Amino acid sequence: MNYADAPQFNRLYDLRMRPTRGYGIIAAMDTTRRTFIVATAAGVFAGRHLFGQADPGAEPLVRFGMVTDLHYADIDHDPKPLGVVGRRFYRESLRKLGEAVEVFNSRKVDFAIELGDFKDFTRDREGTLKCLDAIESCFARFKGPRYHVAGNHDFDCLSPEEFFSRVPNDGKTCPRGYYSFVRNGVTFIVLNACHDSQMRPYCRCNPWDDANVPPEELDWFKGELAAARGPVIVFCHQRLEDSAEPRHLVRNANVVRALIEASGKVKAVITGHQHRGAYRVLNGIPYYSLRALVCDSGEGANSFAEAAIYPSGAFTVTGWRRAQSCGAKGEFPECGVIAHRGDCAEYPENTLLAFRAAVEKGAEMVELDEWRCKTGELVVVHDGAVDRTTNGKGRISELTLAQIKALDAGSRKSPRFAGERVPTLEEALAVFPKTGIYLNIHCKTGSAAPEVAEMLRRTGRLAGSILMMDRRDALVSLKEKCPWVKTGLVMNTDAGWSKPWTEEEAWRKLRDAASIGVDFVQILPNSHCTPEQMRFLHDLNIRTTYFVANDERTMREISAEGHDFIFTDRFSAMRGFFRARG
């Protein structure tokens, strides 16, 4: 390959060939001294969790712990938020790394790796070296081999020689910053993209957004891939996949990806750098970016992960604290039809009958609505009152649970459904399997959203649940209290349900939603997205739901627009049409 002739950027890709995106979820962890509890799709338990049945009964070939973007320095935290994730709490990284190392030791992982930006600038060179030694000493408490990836901040006031000489990799100094090692038949390759466009290595005051892998390293990388006899995992600090934020992308990432894809051996690419973290699958290869450890402060503020590679090549990540988790492809759908309020065309809306029917008929996602009643319980009803769907009258907030449970929620649909009751949210959750289907919970009582999130965590349903909000302020509040739950924002509600947004308005609102860190956006009627806007969302791993398609023409048009999930009130008919079209 002639690297000199290769273009530096390959930002765009044809929407018709859009790659499969992954199924990242947030797993939360509570700690009481040495007991670590992970809330996962399979329930709350102590120990390792694998997302998806990667290899039933098989033990992983290798398990390893990882952290990234520690930015440790003896300086005050940022006075105001920076970007999507927020402020950096530099001094707290020492404590956070200590917690991660303790977990890695208790889990007996095979090795630990930090993915770059190990330290930050501390007033002067001497102070920076002192902090580097302190954070490396903390990392050295890991009872096994440990490795480092070169990050741009590692050289903000140091030369490569000064940095690499103080951070040995399994006891060895790697002066070039790129190297490989083998564990149980798996080859791990560490790249160093800390070179500017002139292919000069970063050295004291470097351009952080001008990252490149030089030709001699590319040649070495190609040789390492060819020599590998088993599966390969690639590490790099800067992002290597197509990104909507190209400043975090390696400039010749397309060349690196071409080598990765041509080898047929790479099972995952793991990076840091862009602090919010992300997960996607590009041309069949998972790209996992770990959330920065330096971000956030207070109880539960940390981010680290354990990864595993299996004999089949399956790759899984268990995120701890606020890190994202991901797993084997197929645990949750990539796209599909949303049964609005369950199978409401055939059964009374928002009832257990409607939910069971949607599950049995193969819905990819089911939507339901939550309200809080007078006695504090959360019930599933669409309107703020019971008048339209039951034989009763009154606002939900003014009725006790006993009063609501006494109502008939089926007869208005048909006499054959007489006696069907309004379910509580917890009763509704019990109907749904924990994998294979998404649950879209429209939180009508915004203040109850944290309680709903805790219910999902307690019942082991974080992986497949989305909390959808109408109000931006309520969503921001939820993200602050429960950053580990999937969220979505209903777009353009301020303009009403029939007024279309302009392209300029759409960009402003979509970028704002992305800045909050949502996982889904819901597009309302007449508020369409351009291909560039869809690409912007998908590059950030934000998926779309569209409301609503109740006929074949609309379903065909919305599908062609590239939306991931489409609401319908006629689930049986539209699901059959969607499936027939593939």
Write phi, then psi, for 24 (nearest 5 degrees): -65, 145
Spot the catalytic one: 148, 273, 382, 538.
382
Spot the catalytic one: 153, 195, 340, 538.
340
Residue 143 tokens, joined: 């009872």
DSSP state of 293: S
Residue 159 tokens, joined: 């030369």
Question: Which has the closest alpha carbon to 25: 319, 409, 341?
Answer: 319
Question: Which has the closest alpha carbon to 469: 522, 428, 529?
Answer: 522
In whole angstroms, how far apart are CA 554 and each of 44, 48, 571? 41, 44, 14
Rounded-to-integer distance, Cα 24 and Cα 30, Å: 20
Asked whether the CA dihedral 6, 11, 13, 18 is positive or negative, the reply is positive
State which amino acid sits at residue 218.
L
> What does the chain come to in residues?
582
Half-sphere exposure of 391 (CA within 13 A, CB side): 16
User: Beta strand pairing status for 378-380 and 365-372?
Assistant: antiparallel
In whole angstroms, how far apart are CA 481 and each of 221, 322, 448, 515? 43, 12, 12, 17
Rounded-to-integer distance, Cα 160 and Cα 172, Å: 15
Residue 241 tokens, joined: 């996949």
Place of tokens 């109408």: 470
Instruction: For residue 470, count other CB atoms closer than 10 A to its CB.
Output: 16
Radius of gyration of the chain (CA): 25
Angle among Cα 404, 405, 406 to the nearest 5 degrees reads 90
Is 340 labeled as catalytic in the residue annotation?
Answer: yes
Q: Are 457 and 355 in contact (CB under 8 A)?
A: no
| Catalytic residue ranges | 340, 382
